[in-house]
Each structure stands twice: as structure tokens, then as C-alpha cells.
Amino acid sequence: MSSTDNILAASKKHPKPADRVFQYGTAGFRMNASLLDSVVFRAGLTAALRSRKLGGQTIGVMITASHNPPEDNGIKLVDPMGEMLENSWEAHSTELANAQSDEELVQIYKKLEASLKISPETTARVIFARDTRPSGPKLVAALVDALEATGAEYTDYKTLTTPQLHYLTRCINTEGTPQSYGEISEKGYYEKLSSAFKRAMKGKTTSGHITVDCANGVGGPKLTELIKYLDKASEGGIDIKIVNDDVLKAESLNHECGADYVKTKQRAPPASKAGPNERCCSLDGDADRIIYYFSDPENGFRLLDGDKIATLAASFIGDLTREAGLAEELKIGVVQTAYANGASTNYVTKSLKLPTVCTPTGVKWLHHAATKFDVGVYFEANGHGTVVFSQQAVKAFHTKEPQSPAQKNALDTLCALYDLINQTVGDALSDMLLVEVILAHKSWTPKEWDLTYVDLPNRLVRVEVGNRNLFKTTDAERKLVEPQGVQAQIDGLVAKFKDGRSFARASGTEDAVRVYAEAATRSEADDLAAKVAAVVKQNGSI
Ligand code: G16
């Protein structure tokens, strides 16, 4: 059989639900798992085409719905250097996902091959992994059907965190080159992180233990594995206490736990019994986001979110580059989204004196903007982010001749940080070790970190509407252009609140519109959010 016949035959086993329109969104396709069979099969076709287009470089495929509830699942594609799938290919993937019949699917597949000048003779290579959701194995079977029908070579890495799959994709595609990213195995990932952590600590010690809420997701078993490679705090390592690591009880995933719960509810997961001032953090369902927090005896629950992690990292790395004598030659910047607290943006520009850039939601936008700097610190307020270093920066860290022991110290730490920080995507495990290194170097408790600036009170609300696609934004999602007139109503409400700011945008991962509001006081922020949510609700079903 020709590959076309193979695809046609295989596609018949994965029929598309007739009444559905699919869209490659903020983080790939994501919805109730029962709707995903054809979507995953067709995303497998996209992965094979993409690999062939890139001369047989390996494409990563991750099956996960990250922070979404257990009954959802999703699929996202990873480009060769571990980045998110290139933008124009989201459209190709969407087109394949929406073909109405098996025959039309094959037609679109052939059309893409021809228009993108893809040789069917080129070997396609794909690796994939999934999180711990019960729907994962069946979706993997649909993916494998597609890869076999297209004649792609593939490797199943079973369960991994999303950032581990990104890491492996980059390792494979850089193997044997000067940019070689690491050993191609899960073990290689743990070894790279743990040895970089040890080098970055430089004899400093962490204080007490950290409680890590793993959202009852794949981060639990993977953190347990990572711990085996880390020393205890008494030996210069770190003491980690894991909570919410039940991956057998499917319904517990992200339920009353995890980074999204903590950020949106602004409270600790009930299962976390940490005492006052103890460091705590929460991962999300696929361990690509992290949020820190602690209980302050005077002020109650205190959140140290993605903005606070970004500012901590930017200030630490900024100091190191100055100590290393590299401040003049390396440009450092911070990339945020509209969800960044206004106080954090102020702190970056006024206190750290660094430029900020605002992009739409979605790691692909932030990552791209961050690569314009030599040291690009990017974090979404929800805890998704990392720090990327330019080739020039990495070269400078490794080749600059130190003029003093202090300079050598700073350069060594920068080299270690480059290895510690996942360069492909936000990675909760890597980010946690980064924060722990910085707090140890500064001898800071979470309270001292919290005091660097005071967040404006804020509220994030999820509004279910009849049709979220009615909401179209501009200006990095800070303004609505549709439905007409809604932005004027929001502006009118915002004007009534001191330090008020609010925006609404359709979620790319959930069937809802998100409303963010901040204002001078807690009650005003809540009030503004509720009022804007009411406007959204009213206009979302027309
Ligand atoms: C994904 C994306 C993030 C985004 C989040 C929420 O996170 O990777 O960039 O902030 O969804 O997006 P939205 O507001 O469009 O629903 P995750 O951790 O769920 O993969």
C-alpha cells in the first residue's frame, strides 16, 4: 500500500466527531479526552510532515492537559530545539484536525506535502510521552497509528513531565554538535540538573525543608526520582517534602491542589500542612509551572508567583553579570504578559532598571521575545517560565578571563545556572532548584523575598459564556476589539477604581473567558473583577 492508502485506512479507525471544530490553541489541542481521538491521530500526521519538512529532525509530541481537570487531555508538538511548534504550523495542524472526511484528510495531507515542498522519501522522526491521565494510553495508540501510517520512526518515552520531553527533543537534535544539550535519557536530565545545582550552590546551604505539592500529577514520581540525585541539605543539597503525589487516584489530579489552584484561589492546598514561614511550592499537572508561597504569621497566606520568580531571577543574574564584568556587553530583559502584576513591572523598570516586554499569553510568545535579549527572563504570572541565554552570553560565561576570585566565582555560577535552567521551556523542577539556589545565595527566607515589592491586590475570574470566540483582543490581549462596545464598558468601570486595571480574554485551554483585575485594595480588586465579569457574561452569549 502507498502511504496515502495507509493514512486513509488508519484514519477510518479514528473518525472525526462531525459537529466539532478544533483549534490548535495556547498549548496545542485541549478538551475533554473523549473528543480527542481523531485530533491526536491527525496531530501525529502533522508531526511526521513537520519532521520531513525539517530534513528528518526529531519532533516531540506531548499528550497532556496540564492544569486542566482529569477528564480533559490534550496534545502539543515540540520543534527540534525544544521550542513550541512554529506558528504557521499551528494552522496546518488545525486544518488537518478539521478535515470532514478521511478522504479530505488525505487530500489536505498531500496538498501540504506539495505546497510545503516536503519529500515523502525523507525519514520522519518523532518522540512522544504523556502525563498520568487515564486517557493517555488510548490516545498514544491513536498517535502511533498515525506515525506507522506515515512510516515515521518513533520512540515512546512513556510518562514524562512536559519539560523533560522538550529536553529530550533538544538533546536528540543537538547530539554530537557543539550545541549538544545533554545525554538523551531521563537519567541524563536528572544528572544534568543535579550536578548543575551542586555547582551553582557553591557551598551555600538551603535552610529547613521545602514542601512541594505535585498536583497529584506526573511531577510527583519525577521529583521523587530527581531527589535520588540530590544531596541532603546537611550535605549542601536540599530537603524536599512531597505532598499530593497520588497518581493512581485519577480524580485527584489538580483537585484542590497544584499551581493553578494556588494562584487562582490565593490559598495553600488543604493537604499542605506546612508551618508558618516555611517554604512551599506547587507544580501543575505536567510540571511546567511552579508557584511559591508561605504562611506569614502577621499577614496570612503570601503568594510568590511567576512575577516574583522572574524578578528574583532577573535581580540575581543581573548582579552576577555585573560582578563578572559583563554588564556592558550583555542585554538583560524581562518578558511578561498582561497578567503581570503592575507592581512587578514597576519594580523591574524602576528598581532593577531593566526593560520589560509584554506579549500575549502562551509560552511561544514569551519565549520568542526573550530570545531577543542575551539574558531573557520570561515568566507568566501563573508560574510558567524560564530564563534563556544567547549564544554570546554563554560564550562570555565560559571564555571571559576572570580578573579576580570574585569575578571567577560569578562566572562559574553563571555557567552552572546555564546548565541548571531548562533552555527549552518553563520547567517546574528546574525553576524550583533555581529559586532554591538564589534564596541560599542571598540567605533569604520567603518573607524577605516577598518584601522586595508589594503586589497590587488582584483577582482572576473564570467566566463561562455561550461563545468565548466572540472575544477578540489587541495590544497583547490588554484590549478587546470585539464584541464591539465591551472595551468601552470595561474602561468606564476601571476609571472608577484607584490604581484600577482590568482586561478580559478568551482562554486558549479552557472553554471560558478569563477576567483579570487589580486595584488599590483587596475589596476594590474583587469588586472590579466581579463587575467586568458581569459585563463579559452579558456579552458572551449574544
Ligand atoms: C498553558 C500555556 C500557558 C498559559 C496557560 C493558560 O499552560 O502553556 O502559557 O498561560 O495555558 O492559558 P489560557 O489562559 O489561554 O487558558 P498549561 O500549564 O496549562 O500548559
Ordered by where they begin, the domains of the chain are 3-159 (3.40.120.10), 189-302 (3.40.120.10), 306-450 (3.40.120.10), 458-539 (3.30.310.50)
Ligand 1 centre to CA of 25 (Å) is 9
- Residues making up the annotated binding site for Mg(2+) are 66, 284, 286, 288
Q: Which residue among 78, 358, 361 has the greatest number of ligand 1 atoms within 8 angstroms of its CB, and so is best to mutate?
A: 361
289: which strand partners?
A: 384
Contacts of 179 (CB under 8 A, 6+ apart): none
CA distance 311 to 27: 25
Decide: residue 199, CB within 10 A, 0-12 exposed, 13-18 middle, 19+ buried: middle
CA gap 144, 140 in Å, rounded: 6
Query: CA-to-CA distance for 538 and 530, rounded, in angstroms?
Result: 12
Helices and strands in the chain, H and E counts: 18, 19
Cis omega (within 30 of 0) for bond into 70:
no
Spacing, Cα 388 to ligand 1 middle (Å): 19
Q: Is the CB of 382 under 6 A from ligand 1?
A: yes
Atom 20, ligand 1: residue with shortest CA distance: 66
Amino acid at 371: T
Q: Annotate 338-371 with b (16+ C-beta within 10 A) or e (fewer).
A: bbbbebbbebbeeebebebbbbbbbbbbbbbbbb
Q: Which residue's C-alpha comes closest to atom 8 of ligand 1? A: 27
Q: Is 384 in the pocket of ligand 1 (CB under 6 A)?
A: yes
DSSP-derived secondary structure letter, 405: H
Helix-strand-coil split of the chain, %, nearest 5: 40, 20, 40
Ligand 1 within 6 A of 288 CB?
yes
- For residue 284, the ligand 1 atom closest to its alpha carbon is 18
| Confidence check on the interface: ipTM exceeds 0.85, yes or no | yes
Longest dimension (CA), the chain: 72
- Cα of 27 vs centre of ligand 1, distance in Å, is 6
Residue 153 has what pLDDT? Answer: 98
Q: Which of 335, 382, 472, 505 to mutate to test the pocket of ligand 1 (most atoms within 8 A of CB)?
A: 382
* CA angle 420–25–258, rounded 5-degree value: 50
Give the nearest ligand 1 atom to 363 CA: 9
| Radius of gyration of the CA atoms of the chain, in A | 23
Ligand 1 in reach of 67 Cβ (< 6 A)? yes
pLDDT of residue 542: 65
Instruction: Give the nearest ligand 1 atom to 339 CA.
Output: 10
Element (H, E) at 125: strand 125-130
Partner residues linked to 75 by β-bridges: 29, 63
Q: Residue 520 is placed in which grid cell?
A: 488599590
Mutate to test the pocket of ligand 1, among 26, 260, 261, 427 (most ligand atoms within 8 A of CB): 26
- Ligand 1: which atom is nearest the Cα of residue 288? 18
Which amino acid is present at 436? E
Q: What is the dihedral of CA 44, 47, 48, 49, to 10 degrees?
A: 120
Per-position b or e across 401-419, b if 16+ CB within 10 A of its CB:
eeeeeebeebbbbbbbbbb
Q: Please give the annotated binding residues for substrate, written as ranges.
A: 380-382, 505-509, 514
Burial track 54-92 (b if 16+ CB lie within 10 A, e otherwise):
beebbbbbbbbbbbbebbbbbbbbbbbebbbbeeebbeb
Q: Write out the chain's pLDDT in tens, 542 residues.
A: 668 899 999 999 999 999 899 999 889 999 999 999 999 999 999 999 999 999 999 999 999 999 999 999 999 999 999 999 999 999 999 999 999 999 999 999 999 999 999 999 999 999 999 999 999 999 999 999 999 999 999 999 999 999 999 999 999 999 999 999 999 999 999 999 999 999 999 889 999 999 999 999 999 999 999 999 999 988 889 999 999 999 999 999 999 999 999 999 999 999 998 999 999 999 999 999 999 999 999 999 999 999 999 999 999 999 999 999 999 999 999 999 999 999 999 999 999 999 999 999 999 999 999 999 999 999 999 999 999 999 999 999 999 999 999 999 999 999 999 999 999 999 999 999 999 999 999 999 999 999 999 999 999 999 999 999 999 999 999 999 999 999 999 999 999 999 999 999 999 888 999 999 999 999 999 999 999 999 999 999 86
What does the pLDDT read at residue 3? 80
CA 67–ligand 1 middle distance (angstroms): 8
* Residue to probe by mutation, ligand 1, list 78, 307, 384, most atoms within 8 Å of CB: 384
**Residue 508 beta carbon below 6 angstroms from any ligand 1 atom:** yes
Å from CA of 363 to ligand 1 middle: 8
Cell triple for residue 94? 488545525
- 279 neighbors 210 (Cβ within 8 angstroms): yes
- 3-class SS of residue 245: coil
Cα–Cα separations (whole angstroms), residue 509 to 312, 468, 483: 28, 11, 20
- Residue partners of 138: CB distance under 8 A and separation at least 6: 37
**Residue that has been written with the C-alpha cell 541560599 in this structure:** 440
C-alpha cell at 436: 532554591
Q: How far apart are the first and last CA of the chain?
A: 50
Distance of CA 197 to the CA centre of its chain: 21
Cβ–ligand 1 distance for 284 under 6 Å, the answer yes
Closest ligand 1 atom, residue 337 Cα: 10
Atom of ligand 1 nearest to the CA of 66: 19
How many angstroms is it from 507 CA to the middle of ligand 1? 8
Query: Helical H runs in 76-227?
Result: 87-97, 102-115, 136-149, 162-174, 186-201, 219-227
For residue 37 and ligand 1, the question of a CB distance below 6 A is answered with: no
Residues annotated catalytic, as ranges: 66
**C-alpha pair distances (Å), 443 with each of 350, 412, 413:** 24, 19, 16
Q: Establish whether residue 386 lines the binding site of ligand 1, counting it when its CB lies within 6 angstroms of any ligand atom.
A: no
C-alpha cell at 102: 478521511
| Collapsed DSSP state (helix, strand, coil) of residue 155 | strand
Ligand 1 centroid – CA 213 distance (Å): 19
Cβ-contact 377, 333 below 8 angstroms: yes
Quick one: cell of 177? 554538535
pLDDT of residue 115: 98
